Amino acid sequence: MKKKFLLPALLALILCQNCNKEDINNKDSMLAGIISEDPGFVFFDFSPDIDIPNPSFEDDLLELDLDINKDGNNDLQFIRNEEGDFLSFSIKTLSEDFYIVSEEVIDYPRILRSGDPIDCDNNFKSGKFLFLYRLWDYGLNIDSGMWFNIDNKYFAFKFKSQNNWYLGWFKIGFVNNNRGIRLYEYAYMLSPDC
């Protein structure tokens, strides 16, 4: 009788050698832009999307604090800074338990496309990160940053809450000829081994 169960078990073992580390069911990873039915998965859609600056507000909205996990403490700050001939967009983590996946050498949020894997071993950092800046100086146009003309892509984050780790993605874009940032939606999921 026991032999009957041995073969399927062996097969499962062999198949699992090929288990994809990027599989959405793997608790240590998730995929940018992909919505899961996992019970530990939270999805939040801005509807309507939020633009910074925002013409529907009386004052131009230049900074926006977000409480990603709705625990009463803000986690992320989006910043639009325009002074004279200088315009920049950046993002800041507001808690020491909140991290963003950054490029290795310079602190730009890494650009992810839909379906790109987000893993615990990505280059997570806290602090302030630049999306892009534009400077008009002495008749020269100086552009820097990796997020120019990106109309909808993702950056990844992780945070710790009540001793649990969560991995997440955030969908944003730069609109109006790179003069505005648009926030679309975000998601996160429980990822115990981060």
Q: Which residues bind Ca ion (CB under 5 A)?
A: 45-46, 49, 67, 69, 71, 73, 75, 184-185
* Residue 147 C-beta: closest distance to Ca ion, Å: 18
CB atoms within 10 A of CB 147: 19
* Residue 96 C-beta: closest distance to Ca ion, Å: 12
Helix (H) or strand (E) holding 2: helix 2-16
Residue with Cβ nearer Ca ion (99 or 108): 99
Residue with Cβ nearer Ca ion (41 or 184): 184
* Residue 125 C-beta: closest distance to Ca ion, Å: 18
Q: Which residues pair with 29 in a beta bridge?
A: 119
Is the distance from CB of 109 to CB of 127 less than 8 angstroms? no
Is the distance from CB of 104 to CB of 81 less than 8 angstroms? no
Is the distance from CB of 76 to CB of 99 less than 8 angstroms? no
Cα 164 to the center of its chain, rounded Å: 18
Residue with Cβ nearer Ca ion (69 or 178): 69
Residue with Cβ nearer Ca ion (101 or 187): 187
* Residue 71 C-beta: closest distance to Ca ion, Å: 4
Is the distance from CB of 94 to CB of 63 less than 8 angstroms? no
